[in-house]
Structure 1
Amino acid sequence: MSASFKRIIKSGWVGFRRNSGLSLATVFIMVMAISLVTSLFLLQKTTDFLVMSLSEKVDMAVYFSEEPSSDEIATIQKELSGLPEVKTLEYISKEEALQKFIERHQGEEVILESLEEVGGNPLLASLSIKAFEATQYAAISSFLDSASFKDLIAFSLTSTISNTGIALSIVLAVVAVLIAFNTVRIAIFNSRDEIETMRLVGASNWFIRGPFLVQGMIGGLLAVLITFFVFGIALWFLSPKIDLVIPGLNLYSYFFGSFFMVIVLQLAAGVGLGACASWLAIRKYLKV
């Protein structure tokens, strides 16, 4: 390792410690950015799981914000039965949903204890709709959007989940990049006098860029460690509760089962974005 390279690393570490307030603020923002990217990763897993579950079941689940009365149930079933795309209908009350959930998770103490902690019955009444063909669910979904009972519907799950997940993933990725770039840019702006001094004494562009690149990478690495630790604990605590809403989806096991992929993704988001954002922002002060 050359002496100049060592000085760049040392200077970057000293600068990171000297500007501790701004460095911590940068790490905090980077944690938010990496959290968005990690959430994007988990969201895609959740989306894939839901789409796969729907494909296997080949039905549409419509959940009601409040349990409808017997008259409302009859009206809903009558209107839906009149659609040529609908093959079968099955109404599941809150009590039936709870009973099926308990039966499905017999012997799983963590999940049943989580259910007790929630208290009452957190599950929603639902209507399972089967179509003759998978392509007909779009027509059924359009009907639900304008049906006379649409105010009773909390949400429905259809194949549009995949498209929504992709769109949201793109938005989160753009936000993460903007946050990382602007945060590092602020740090460099506050050091503009030091940069000008280094230029006056003949320092090379690489020697000027180097410490800021190191600072960005240190901040990104710390942010990765913090984010991984926080997500690990959060998923350990939330996974049993998520299973109450989406049975069979264990994000905790998936998170650690995909350890290498998660670490690479977070390092790319943290260290990579930190270094790239530093490189792009410092160029403003190196123009002749």
Structure 2
Amino acid sequence: MSVKYFASETGTNLWRNRLMSLAAIFTVAISLSLVGSALLIKQGVSTATAEWKGNVQLLIFLQPKISPTEFKAVEDQLRQLPAVKSFSYVPRAQAYSDFRHLLANQPDLVNAVPKSAVPTFLRVSLVNPAETKAVAAIFQGQPGVDTVNDNFSAINTITTVSNVAQTVILAVAIILLVSAAVLILNVIRVAIFSRRREVAVMRLVGATNSFIQIPFMLEGLIQGLIGALVATGVVILVKSLIGYAISHFKMHLLGGFVLTNQNLIDTIAVIIFAGVVVGTLGSTIAVRRFLST
């Protein structure tokens, strides 16, 4: 009988305040969608960053008129450095082919650069990516060497921008979660106030505070849970869109941005837990404040 009563009262409360309940559910859904998306991005960026840093390469661009002696001196030095894992020479034909492939979506720029203007270079792989700057400094300005570039700085820039974006998203999500909790609190307060006479009668006939609280707490829990389920659908869609964008548009830079099913399961678990906590917390505060007066 108690279970049937609690279910009936909870459903009645939700229907009586359906507009405010919908507002609370949508607020929870939006905030948890942001939280879930930020968590997915964070996991994907962590995986991609590990792969990028494992593939850090140093490009030693050679001068057009480098002499055989200067070229041999650079090669010998690379062989002697313990920080160098391997290196290979990229001739002009291969360098020009790579250049055209990399900028295939900018034909005007590709056509404006003649093959003779593309320099030859040495592609160097390092044992420890953290030593990139130190190795680059050795060859910078050396006879026969034009410039030395690496992609370590670009990787760090991408990581920094991603971290800032995630922080902003999480901050907005937290603000919305607090707003959702307050909104649920107000929904429950309105529900209790509209039934204050019934609550007073229940108290007079000996109903305990716990018995009175449960329907209202279930109302908040359901609002938070429904919002979390909506957010779960959004997060699943976000994961699918990210995977589709990477594969369909051939975004090679994001090739290491891998999101596994386990990442998705972990994120969904966090979302549902947060939704239940927000809904229960808001309703609990509202009920306790009313019953303590």
> TM-score surpassing 0.5?
yes
Residue in 2 that maps onto 1:182: 182
Is it true that 1:226 corresponds to 2:230 in the alignment? yes
**Equivalent position SS for 1:249:** coil
Judging changes above 3 Å, is the alpha-carbon distance between structure 1 residues 95 and 240 closer, same or farther for their aligned structure 2 residues? farther
TM-score (normalised: structure 1): 0.60
Gaps of 5+ in 2: 60-83, 111-122, 135-152
Shift of 1:187: 0.7
Gaps of 5+ in 1: 62-86, 100-119, 140-154
Residue in 1 that maps onto 2:102: 97
Shift of 1:176: 4.7
Residue in 2 that maps onto 1:7: 5
Residue in 1 that maps onto 2:191: 191
Judging changes above 3 Å, is the alpha-carbon distance between structure 1 residues 228 and 174 closer, same or farther for their aligned structure 2 residues? closer
In 2, the alpha carbon distance for the partners of 1:138 and 1:6 equals: 70
Task: State the identity %.
Answer: 20
Cα root mean square deviation, aligned: 4.1
Residue in 1 that maps onto 2:254: 246
Give the one of 210, 220, 225 matched to 1:216.
220
Residue in 2 that maps onto 1:235: 239
In 1, the alpha carbon distance for the partners of 2:179 and 2:230 equals: 17
Shift of 1:48: 0.7
Are 2:44 and 2:258, in contact at CA under 8 Å, matched by a contact in 1? no
Are 1:33 and 1:177, in contact at CA under 8 Å, matched by a contact in 2? yes
Give the one of 36, 40, 54 matched to 1:42.
40
Written as runs of structure 1 = structure 2, the 5 A alignment for 1:151-162 is 156-158=154-156, 161=159
Shift of 1:28: 0.8
Give the one of 279, 282, 292 matched to 1:277.
282
TM-score (normalised: structure 2): 0.59
In 1, the alpha carbon distance for the partners of 2:278 and 2:124 equals: 45
Is it true that 1:19 corresponds to 2:17 in the alignment? yes
Judging changes above 3 Å, is the alpha-carbon distance between structure 1 residues 182 and 53 closer, same or farther for their aligned structure 2 residues? same
Judging changes above 3 Å, is the alpha-carbon distance between structure 1 residues 58 and 182 closer, same or farther for their aligned structure 2 residues? same
Q: Which of structures 1 and 2 has the bigger CA Rg?
A: 2
Deviation string, structure 1 residues 124-177 (Cα, Å, up to 9, x no partner): x9xx999996556799xxxxxxxxxxxxxxx94318837936745763563353
In 2, the alpha carbon distance for the partners of 1:274 and 1:283 equals: 14
Residue in 2 that maps onto 1:268: 273
**Equivalent position SS for 1:174:** helix
Letter aligned with residue 277 of structure 2: G
Letter aligned with residue 228 of structure 1: T
